[in-house]
Amino acid sequence: MKTMKVILTGASLSQENKGINALTLGAILALLDSNPECEIELFNQNSTYDAQVQHGINFRGNTVIVTENYIWSSRFILCGLLHLVFSFMPARIKKIIFIDNLKIFYFVLMKLKRKKVLPGEPALNKLIHADYIVNCAEGDSFSDIYGMHVFLRQSLDKVLAIAYKKKFVIFPQTIGPFNSALAKRLSKEILKRAETIYVREKRSREYLTREFGELPNLKDASDMAFLMEPEKVDDAAFEKFCESGIVTGINISGFLYDHPTGKNKILGDAVDYAKISDEIIKSLLSIDPSIKVVFVSHVENEDYCASKKIVDVFIKRGFGDRLYVLHDGYTAPQLKYFLSRFEFFTGARMHACIGAFSTTVPTVPQAYSYKFIGITDKFGLGDFVIDLKKDTIDVIRKKIIDGYTKRDDIKKRISGALAQIKSDSLKCGSLP
């Protein structure tokens, strides 16, 4: 019997963004649960180079090898756009011109950028010969809010699936918003042709229905990262810090703290995320003198650098013995273990919050988009979500204090809903 080949696109197990790694691992586990014999490869189109890397995945006590195919994103976008512009051509001709001879179109750019690419376009050939293409879009990048280049990078894999008549499924993610006319038009065509579209929160469903009408292939599910299990870590410095006091956790988003897109485009000039973060930490420390705060970076370097800047300020204020910055370099499952150790957590990276929720840690998310409240509503905890764009400092302080003081009730609500949420994630692995 022929082995079913599945390509997971917009996916990675080696990104600095641990949220992408977490949802990718969850997606792999869901696919293997329903299709234990299938062959899964990853298609990482968010790359500046070509490479192939193998990962060993623990599944039911056995190691399953999953190959991650990195593809230079500029070349991938070029390939997708050529297929889009010349969509009227027969698939056989498109393959010869735009895949087998793609190098003709990017040769000059490759020389100027001094790029080394793998011969024979192996990643693209795997994509168009797969039985199923399953798109993760890095969780929330099937949208143009991060820029048109990100939208194209996470849309053109589906354009190639359509061009070569491949079945494709959109795994649980936040879809949209689409602000430009081009993004709306292309998205509409893609969504109509998908076998199944899974959305991970009600707001995405409402948005898609409002923009594109009723989509018969639209289904509700939960984020795939709920399926990832924590991996225990021995960290002597962390354990020593946890020997006394009440240990809580926080994630500072370096994207919102320092990155121009996060600071100016996503939040807007009126929102001072650095000040909000300062107030959140002060509020948490003021509740009880025995409270300690661990800073967890969910995107390597970016979050870590922002956390260090904030901690340096609090050290000067005399709080150094109550703060600890977890070092960079841990995997997504290992970070989930650290998250599971906290009495309370608040964070601005959604998958850091999912890591805490899925280990029943009382959590107050800090939201910059509707994806946060949609996930939190599944636990009946939407009132505890901090809206970074709308909430005043006083409201933010109150939500942190209420979340901490009501943490036992929050934990019960999470525990009561978690089994169904994981079941909703697992069902996605049963491909149509």
User: By the 8 A CB rule, do 356 and 347 touch?
Assistant: yes
User: By the 8 A CB rule, do 17 and 138 touch?
Assistant: yes
Does 338 score more than 80 pLDDT? yes
Residues, the chain, total? 432
Contacts of 318 (CB under 8 A, 6+ apart): none
User: By the 8 A CB rule, do 219 and 225 touch?
Assistant: no
Instruction: Kindly give the interhelix angle for 156-163 and 73-85, rounded to the nearest 10 degrees.
Output: 50
Q: Is 392 exposed, middle or buried (0-12, 13-18, 19+ CB in 10 A)?
A: exposed
Phi and psi angles of residue 366, each rounded to the nearest 5 degrees, phi first = -110, 105
The dihedral sign for the CA sequence 302, 305, 307, 313: negative
The CB-side HSE value for 202 (13 A sphere, CA atoms) comes to 8
Greater confidence (371 vs 168) lies with 168
CATH 3.40.50.2000-classified regions of the chain: 236-423
Give whole-number Cα distances, 371 to 110, 124, 147, 199, 319, in Å. 37, 31, 18, 10, 33
Residue pointed to by tokens 């969504």: 191
Does 188 score more than 80 pLDDT? yes
Cα–Cα distance for residue pair 331/341, rounded to 1 Å: 16
Cα–Cα distance for residue pair 372/385, rounded to 1 Å: 8
Q: What is the DSSP string of 378-420?
A: TTT-GGG-EETTT--HHHHHHHHHHHHHTHHHHHHHHHHHHHH
Highest averaged pLDDT of the listed ranges 75-79, 110-114, 116-120, 191-195: 191-195
Label residue 80 by pLDDT band (50, 70, 90): very high
Q: Percentage of the chain with pLDDT > 90?
A: 83
Arithmetic mean of pLDDT, 103-129: 80
Does 265 score more than 80 pLDDT? no
DSSP state of 12: -
Cα–Cα distance for residue pair 329/308, rounded to 1 Å: 15
Cα–Cα distance for residue pair 375/414, rounded to 1 Å: 12
What is the tens place of the pLDDT at every residue in 146-184?
A: 889 999 999 999 999 999 999 999 999 999 999 999 999
- Count of Cβ atoms closer than 10 Å to residue 108 Cβ: 9
User: By the 8 A CB rule, do 128 and 5 touch?
Assistant: no
275: tokens are 């000040």
Contacts of 232 (CB under 8 A, 6+ apart): 337
Cα–Cα distance for residue pair 285/301, rounded to 1 Å: 25
CATH annotation of 236-423? 3.40.50.2000
DSSP state of 349: S
Bridge partners, residue 283, by sequence: none
CATH annotation of 5-221? 3.40.50
Q: Percentage of the chain with pLDDT > 70?
A: 98
Label residue 1 by pLDDT band (50, 70, 90): low
Q: If you average pLDDT over every residue of the chain, what do you get?
A: 93
Label residue 109 by pLDDT band (50, 70, 90): low
Contacts of 136 (CB under 8 A, 6+ apart): 8, 9, 10, 11, 20, 23, 24, 27, 171, 173, 224
Contacts of 8 (CB under 8 A, 6+ apart): 24, 27, 28, 31, 40, 41, 42, 43, 134, 135, 136
What is the tens place of the pLDDT at every residue in 44-63?
A: 999 988 899 999 999 999 99
**Cα angle at 365 between 360 and 366, to 5 degrees?**
165
Label residue 5 by pLDDT band (50, 70, 90): very high
User: By the 8 A CB rule, do 219 and 425 touch?
Assistant: no
Arithmetic mean of pLDDT, 389-400: 96
185-210: buried (b, 16+ CB within 10 Å) or exposed (e) per residue? ebbbebbeebbbbbbbbebbbebbee
Q: Which of 96-105, 226-235, 244-253 shows the lowest mean pLDDT across its residues?
A: 96-105
Name which of 30, 381, 64, 358 is nearest 172 in CA terms: 30
Arithmetic mean of pLDDT, 344-363: 97
Arithmetic mean of pLDDT, 184-205: 94
Residue pointed to by tokens 């623990």: 58
Q: Which of 19-33, 66-80, 412-426 shows the lowest mean pLDDT across its residues?
A: 66-80
Does 108 score more than 70 pLDDT? no
Cα–Cα distance for residue pair 31/268, rounded to 1 Å: 39
Omega into 230 within 30° of 0, i.e. cis? Answer: no
Cα–Cα distance for residue pair 196/52, rounded to 1 Å: 29
Name which of 98, 97, 170 is nearest 132 in CA terms: 170
